[in-house]
């Protein structure tokens, strides 16, 4: 059983920083966390050199990276995405699909199973996130409109049964016919029902929350704000997420999808324990700028990566993010003026809680999985440890 001792670190807990701390790892778990030194003579020593020691970052909404996309329908894509993002601090992720045909969803489940069994060098998989295909066509964004449709009860029940408890989250537009019934079914099966790509108004969101929906997918992106119908104004999903305290939100905190003022606004209204940072990264994450593809490499949408974001070829809208989790934390600290402890919490503890894995991930707590990062004051990753194993070291 491998034993590791991390010394001279500024250890980040959910609410404070332990100066000159020591962290012990035994096997796959955290064994001890303390200020000062801990006597452990037979442990391999990693000197943090005064850098921060943090819980691993958890990305609950991610499509790709390193030139690969989960919709490529290859095992290699799953493995390479997990590996490239681990070098940027992601220790756990929820592979996310795009709007597609039922056959593609079933294929994605098969690949998740096979890749998960072989994933030893990258971020761990903590369940699948199905994004679509049950969306409002008017809010399709970069989702392929050819596959957008209303909830089909036979279809989603078949997909969930086929997934054998691997599907942990499904994003849906709650105003669609059948969406409320779907939310109830998702909740009864322990699956997070999330609101996404939607034109819902407050009354529809409230109905959805009362029937199982609990999370707003990429807040502000592809969703309604204040709208006017027949001369009357209605609050949209954005305002609903702020008004309903029980709702969690996730934000693409790259500083572009949401500029600093909106990041600050979200943090002013919602507490860190209700905000999860997400990359929503497509295959261009970790790749040079230029032409790319959103979705399947052969049938997906052509997009352009420029100025740190992916946009549609006609430049009509964003087409996904190329962010990595280290960039999200850096943006929140440097552009949104969020304290480091809170930014890290939104990238670790909060997503772990949303995904229901807080009993084993999300904080540097004795007995939890040894998912640990070492990074400098600019959030440049120096070391990534996943389940007690050093995956990346710079």
157 is a domain residue: yes
pLDDT of res. 299: 86
Q: Are residues 76 and 158 in the same domain?
A: yes
Are the CB atoms for 136 and 198 separated by under 8 Å?
yes
Q: Are residues 306 and 381 in the same domain?
A: no
Q: Are residues 190 and 93 in the same domain?
A: yes
The verdict on whether 280 is a catalytic residue reads: yes
DSSP string over 210-246: TTTEEEETTTTTTB--SEEETTEEE-BHHHHHHH-TT
Q: Are residues 211 and 336 in the same domain?
A: yes
Q: Are residues 99 and 233 in the same domain?
A: yes
Q: Name residue 74's beta-bridge partners.
A: none
Q: Are residues 172 and 285 in the same domain?
A: yes
**In this structure, what token pair is assigned to residue 278?**
């997400």
330 is a domain residue: yes
pLDDT of res. 313: 86
328 is a domain residue: yes
Q: Are residues 11 and 132 in the same domain?
A: no
Please tell me the distance from the alpha carbon of residue 258 to that of residue 277, in angstroms, as a whole number: 11
pLDDT of res. 30: 98
CATH of the domain at 297: 3.20.20.140
Into how many domains does the chain fold?
Answer: 2
pLDDT of res. 147: 95
Range of the domain at 164: 57-361
369 is a domain residue: no
CATH of the domain at 26: 2.30.40.10
**Given 59, 280, 326, 369, which residue is catalytic?**
280
331 is a domain residue: yes
Asked whether the CA dihedral 310, 343, 4, 358 is positive or negative, the reply is negative
Spatial CA neighbour of 90 closest among 68, 45, 61, 58: 58
Q: Are residues 17 and 151 in the same domain?
A: no
pLDDT of res. 274: 98
Q: Are residues 356 and 296 in the same domain?
A: yes
Q: Are residues 93 and 42 in the same domain?
A: no
Whole-model pTM: value is: 0.97
44 is a domain residue: yes
366 is a domain residue: no
Q: Would you give per-residue pLDDT tens digits along the chain (394 residues)?
A: 899 999 999 999 998 999 999 999 999 999 999 999 999 999 999 999 999 999 999 999 999 999 999 999 999 999 999 999 999 999 999 999 999 999 999 999 999 999 999 999 999 999 999 999 999 999 998 888 999 999 999 999 999 999 999 999 999 999 999 999 999 999 999 999 999 999 999 999 999 999 999 999 999 999 999 999 889 999 999 999 999 999 999 999 999 999 999 999 999 999 999 999 999 999 999 999 999 998 889 888 889 999 999 998 888 888 889 999 999 999 999 999 999 999 999 999 999 999 999 999 999 999 999 999 999 999 999 999 999 999 999 9
DSSP string over 73-96: --HHHHHHHHHHHHTTTEEEEEEB
Pure H helices in 41-178: 75-86, 102-118, 153-163
Please tell me the distance from the alpha carbon of residue 60 to that of residue 52, in angstroms, as a whole number: 23
Q: Are residues 232 and 247 in the same domain?
A: yes
89 is a domain residue: yes
pLDDT of res. 2: 92
Q: Are residues 173 and 48 in the same domain?
A: no
């Amino acid at each position: 059983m491998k034993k590791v001792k991390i010394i001279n670190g500024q250890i980040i807990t959910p609410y404070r920083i332990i100066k000159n701390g020591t962290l012990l790892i035994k096997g796959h778990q955290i064994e001890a966390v303390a200020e000062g030194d801990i006597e452990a003579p037979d442990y391999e020593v990693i000197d943090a050199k005064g850098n921060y020691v943090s819980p691993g970052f958890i990305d609950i909404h991610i499509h790709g990276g390193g030139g690969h996309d989960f919709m490529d329908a290859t095992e290699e894509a799953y493995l390479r995405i997990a590996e490239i993002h681990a070098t940027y601090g992601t220790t756990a992720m929820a592979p996310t699909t795009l709007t597609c045909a039922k056959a593609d969803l079933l294929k994605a489940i098969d690949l998740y199973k096979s890749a998960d069994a072989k994933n030893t060098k990258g971020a761990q998989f903590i369940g699948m996130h199905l994004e679509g295909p049950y969306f409002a066509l008017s809010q399709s964004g970069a989702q392929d409109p050819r596959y957008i449709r209303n909830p089909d009860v036979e279809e989603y029940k078949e997909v969930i049964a086929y997934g054998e408890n691997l599907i942990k989250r499904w994003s849906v537009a709650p105003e669609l016919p059948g969406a409320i019934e779907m939310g109830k079914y998702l909740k009864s099966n322990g699956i997070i029902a999330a609101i996404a790509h939607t034109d819902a108004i407050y009354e529809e969101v409230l109905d959805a929350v009362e029937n199982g929906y609990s999370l707003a997918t990429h807040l502000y992106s592809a969703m309604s704000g204040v709208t006017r119908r027949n001369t009357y104004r209605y609050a949209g999903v954005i305002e609903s997420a702020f008004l309903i305290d029980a709702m969690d939100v996730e934000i693409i905190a790259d500083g572009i999808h949401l500029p600093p003022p909106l990041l600050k606004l979200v943090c002013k209204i919602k507490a860190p324990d209700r905000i999860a940072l997400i990359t929503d990264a497509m295959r261009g994450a970790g790749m040079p700028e230029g032409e790319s593809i959103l979705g399947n490499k052969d049938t997906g949408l052509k997009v352009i990566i420029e100025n740190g974001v992916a946009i549609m070829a006609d430049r009509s809208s964003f087409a996904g993010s190329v962010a990595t989790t280290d960039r999200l934390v850096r943006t929140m600290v440097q552009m949104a003026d969020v304290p480091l402890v809170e930014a890290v919490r939104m990238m670790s503890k909060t997503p772990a809680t949303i995904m229901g894995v807080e009993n084993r991930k999300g904080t540097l707590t004795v007995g939890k999985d040894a998912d640990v990062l070492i990074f400098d004051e600019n959030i440049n990753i120096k070391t990534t440890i996943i389940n007690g194993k050093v995956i990346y070291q710079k």
